[in-house]
Structures are given as structure tokens and as C-alpha cells.
Amino acid sequence: MHKSRLHYLLLSIVILLTASACGPSLVLQDVDYSQPLESVLVPDTEQNIHDQRYAVKFSISSLLMEEGLSEIDKIHMIRNRAGFYFITASGFNNVYIFTPGASTLELVEKILVAENGISEPAFNQRDTYIELIDRNNGETYNLNYSK
Amino acid sequence: MYTLTKVTLSFIAILYLLIPGQLLAQQSDFQITQEFRAEYNELINRVSNAISTEELDEISEEISAFEAQYAEHSSLINAAIYPDTFDSYLEVLESNFNTVNANISVIDQLNSRVEVLVNEMDQFRDRISEMNQEMGTLEDQIEKSSENESRQATLIRQYRLNLDQRDVFVSEFLEELVERYQNMDSSVRSEISESSERLQDNPIDILKTILSEYIELASSEISLDLPDYVSMRAQQAYFMDVWDRIGTRLVETFAPQQSEAEKAEIDELLESWLEAIDGNLWATLLVSFSENEIELEPFSSSEEFNRSLNSYVDESYEASLESNRDEDYQKFLNFSSFWNNTVKANWGELLTTGNVLSYSDISAIDIKLNNWGEAASTTSNIMFILLIVSIAVIVGLVVLLVTKKS
């Protein structure tokens, strides 16, 4: 009897220690990641962009390759409420939606918006969606993505 | 650490409300903030560079329109310019506007003042120029009419009149300068100083011109009388007084970079003017006394003149005491008449204002003259009485002799 109690105690201690080693499990709900204004960024010579205001930087060379372009003047980028990055550029046919990971941006969706490339894109943050406008012809697209 | 839960990855909300071909005049929020910044910066620059109230009025309207245009986007703008805000930007713009507005008001006032100064300088310059021309013409005519004495006398009278008019005109100008600059504080002086570069001729230049012309006048070969030169000396003394009162302020206002040099130049001109006057004055004064049979010791300054006068009176008084001749009495009467009726009555005020003789100098001569009069006249009276007594004694003796004989 005395021995089983001791075993039980030791097991509890082990479980407790193991549980604590697994890390915190606190989840904060209804986080709003929305970026009030789009970031319009000029790539450097090595096709890297750096958004100093929202502190993110990465290479767009894969994106350009995906679009079949060698270079662009500016990248338009915005983050929605859910935290997904919407990226496009003048001459792109698509809007790319990425989710941030550990040192990564993972593509979750690619939306075709113009067969021959959108000419003057601009993202606007709206209450429940991201508005994409083509300032050249006035076309508007309301986009959203959430998991 | 972020983890993406693929189990419940949902595409339900993908491509929500795809509306191609919608030709609305859609604006980019980013573009709005860019335009806001650009227009704001332009307004700030225009306010800084505004140089007139009319320009500021125009800008004020544009600021109001700018505020109305972007007020509905204030939350967007706040996000773009964080930590600044739309309201704080407008406050800065308004503050700059008010500062510039205040400065321009001061500038407008200064401009008005400078405009007035410029007009006054122009008028003064024109009038002095006119006077110079008139006097130049008169000088030529006087020279040409040397053979015709009466015509020459008329012309010289006119010349004197012109001199007087000029003196009055210049005195009024100086009075105005005194009134304007005597009590001016340093902040107003520095404001005028900055604007004075726009003056073609500032008061310092005008003063130099006046003084140079006065020196020329005083050195002129036109034969003027003693009162003319004494009057010039009075004018010079007045000029000196004005210069003492406002000279430093004037040079600091209108020639701040070389104020000492300018002051020294004017001081020198004033000295030269006095020398030019005195060059003629003392000689004329000596001659005036001489023409009235009063031979004074030559003199070349106020002090020497006073000494010479006192010396003449003292010596004459001593002589009257010693010899008591009728000639001494006549000498006294002659001097007394000239002194009272001409020197004091006609020239007195000019002599004092021109610093030739002071009131105390004149009073001292008056006292000595009184003593001289007593010394000269008492002796004469005694002589007369003695003469009468002598005659009476002689007559008495003769009568006695005659009666004794009979």
C-alpha cells in the first residue's frame, strides 16, 4: 500500500513535469492583423523588398518567376484582418495570398484577376474584405481569405 | 509559434463578391494619403514663402478647402502618418500660417513706412535741387551784374532770401528726423534698418548732401553781411544739436555695418562747415566793428572775440579813469550806441544761437559798459561844473575889481 502511493506520487510528478515541458497553450482570440494602408514597395537590385513600417522583408524573385516577369517597378502588399498577406503588382495576372510561417510566407491562394495583367493595382482595407482596384480602368475586386 | 491548421482549411469565403468591369471612380487609400502629404507639404512651403497678405488670404482659403477635402479620410491619414495625426498636422499648418501672417503684417507696416520715407526723401531731394538751381542762377547773375550796384544789391537780397528759405526747409527736415528717431526703440530701428536698403538715399546720405552744400555756400565768394554768417553759425549750431540727439540712432538704423565711420564723416562735415563759416564770419565781424570806429584786436574764435571785446572795454574804461577826456566820452557813446542798437538789438539772438557770444558774455559787457559810462560821463560833468564855477569866479572877480576901482 505504501509502495503504490509512492508510485502514484512519482507518476504525478513526472506527468506534471512533462506537461510543463510541452510549453504554454494560451490562445488569444479575435486578433486583428489588418494593415490600414497598402504598402507600395520598390524592389532593390537583388529583387528584395523591405517594408520598414510593418517590418517585413523578403525576396520576390519566385513571384516574378511565377508571373513570367523579369522585373517590376513596385509591389503592392496588404494584410487582412485574419493576418493573410495579399500581394500583386502592375503587370501581374494574379493576386497572391500568403500566410506567414516561421521565416516563410506560404502561398494559400492564387486569384486570377486579369488575363493580360492588371495595370495600376491598389489595395484598400475595408471592414470585412480587401478591395483591389485597377486605377487604370476602374475595375474593382472584393477579396477575402480566412482559414 | 504560428501553426496553420490544415484540417479545417476553408475556401468558403474565397472570391467573395467578384465584380469585374465595375467602372466606379475608385480611389486608392494609399494614393489618398500620398496626395494628402504632397498637398500638405506644398501648403507648408507656400505659407513659408508668402510675402503678402493677399497671398496669405488665398492660401487661407486653400487650407480650408484642404481640410474639408481630407477630413473624411482622417482615420486613414492618421494610420498613415502615425504617431502624428491629421489634427496635429493641421495645427502645425495653422501655427505656421499665424506666424507668417504676423510677420507679414509687420513687413507691410514697414513697407508703408519705407514708402513714406522714400517719398519724403524724393520730395526733399527735388526741392533742395530746385533751390540749388535757383541759387546757382542767382550766383551767376550776381557775378555778371558786378558793375550795376543796384541790380547786384537786389540779387543779393534775393540770394539771402533763398538762403533763409533753405534754412527753414532744412530745419523742418531736421525737426522731422528728431521727432521720428529720437525716441525710437532698438527693435523698430532694426526693422527699419533691414528695409532701408531699398531707399535710394537714406537720411544719412541726405544729411551729407545738405552739409556739403552748406560748406559750399559758406565758402562762396558772394559778399554777405555779418547777420548772414551769424545766421549760418546759428544753423550750424542747431544742426550740431540735432546730430547730438539723434546721430547715433540714425547711423545705427541706416548704416549699421559702418555706423562709426558714417558718424565720423558727418562730424567732420559739421566741423568743416563751421570752419567755412568762421573763415568769413570773424573777418566780417571785425570789419563791422571797425566801420563803426571800434578797433578790436583781431580774433578767430568766439573766445578770442569775447576777449577782444572785453579788452577794448577794459582799456577804454581805464583810459577814462586816467585822462577823462571828452574823446573818451565820445568813444564810450559810440561803442554804447553800436553795442546796444546793433550788436544786441539786431544780432543778439543770432550771436547767442550761433555760439558767438553767450548771454553771460553779453551781460558782462553790459556791466562793464555801465562802469565805463560812469567813469567817462562823471569826469565830463565835473569838468563842466568846474568850468561854470571857474567862469563864475572869474566874473565875480571882475565885478569886484570894477566896483573897487569906482
* pLDDT, tens only, B184-211: 666 666 666 665 565 556 778 888 888 8
- Characterize B193-229 residue by residue with b for buried, 16 or more Cβ atoms within 10 angstroms of its Cβ, and e for exposed: beebeebebbbbbbbebbbebbbebbebebebebbbb
- CB proximity B80 to A under 8 Å: yes
In a domain, A24, yes or no: no
Residue A111 domain boundaries = 39-143
Q: Write down which residue in B291, B319, B351 finishes a domain.
A: B291
Q: Look up residue B66 and give its three cell numbers.
A: 484642404
Total domains, chain B: 3
CB neighbours (10 Å) of residue B165?
Answer: 14
In a domain, A52, yes or no: yes
> pLDDT tens-digit profile of A97-125?
999 999 999 999 999 999 999 999 999 99
d(CA B232, CA B163): 9
What's the pLDDT at B19?
Answer: 41
- Amino acid letter, A61: S
In a domain, B368, yes or no: yes
In a domain, B20, yes or no: no
Bridge partners of residue A58, in order along the sequence: A49
In a domain, A127, yes or no: yes
Mutation target vs A (from B31, B32, B74; most A CBs, 10 A cutoff) = B31
Q: What percent of chain B has pLDDT over 70?
A: 84
pTM of the model: 0.51
Note whether B18 contacts A142, CB cutoff 8 Å. yes
B153 with B285, same domain: the answer is yes
In a domain, A114, yes or no: yes
User: Taking CB atoms and an 8 Å cut-off, how many pairs form between chains A and B?
Assistant: 82
In a domain, B169, yes or no: yes
A→B contacts (Cβ < 8 Å), by residue, are: 36-38, 40, 99-102, 106, 108-109, 111, 122-125, 129, 131, 133, 135, 137-147
Total domains, chain A: 1
In a domain, B311, yes or no: yes
B156 with B93, same domain: the answer is no
In a domain, A109, yes or no: yes
B254 with B324, same domain: the answer is no
Q: Where are the alpha helices (DSSP H) in B196-347?
A: 203-218, 226-254, 259-291, 302-322, 326-338
In a domain, A21, yes or no: no
Upper half-sphere CA count for residue B368 (Cβ side, 13 Å): 19
What φ, ψ does residue B261 adopt, rounded to 5°?
-65, -40
pLDDT band (50, 70, 90) for residue B168: confident
B281 with B363, same domain: the answer is no
- CB proximity B2 to A under 8 Å: yes
> pLDDT tens-digit profile of A74-93?
999 999 999 999 999 999 99
B280 with B157, same domain: the answer is yes
Cβ-Cβ contacts under 8 Å for B232 (sequence gap 6 or more): B214, B217, B218, B277, B281, B354
Q: Write down which residue in B101, B130, B158 finishes a domain.
A: B101
d(CA A112, CA A109): 10
d(CA B117, CA B202): 8
In a domain, B64, yes or no: yes
In a domain, B353, yes or no: yes
B274 with B150, same domain: the answer is yes
Q: Write down which residue in B257, B291, B325 finishes a domain.
A: B291
In a domain, A102, yes or no: yes
Residue B284 domain boundaries = 145-291
Average pLDDT over every residue of A20-26? 68
- Amino acid letter, B299: F
Cα distances (Å, whole numbers) of residue A70 to A19, A47, A75, A92, A117? 51, 10, 13, 12, 14
Low-confidence winner among A25-29, B30-34, B82-86, B376-380 (lowest mean pLDDT)? B376-380
In a domain, A45, yes or no: yes
d(CA B30, CA B23): 19
Residue in B closest to A35 by C-alpha: B79
B36 with B161, same domain: the answer is no
B287 with B190, same domain: the answer is yes
In a domain, B94, yes or no: yes
B213 with B273, same domain: the answer is yes
Chain A residues in contact with B81 (beta carbon < 8 A) = none
ipTM: 0.79
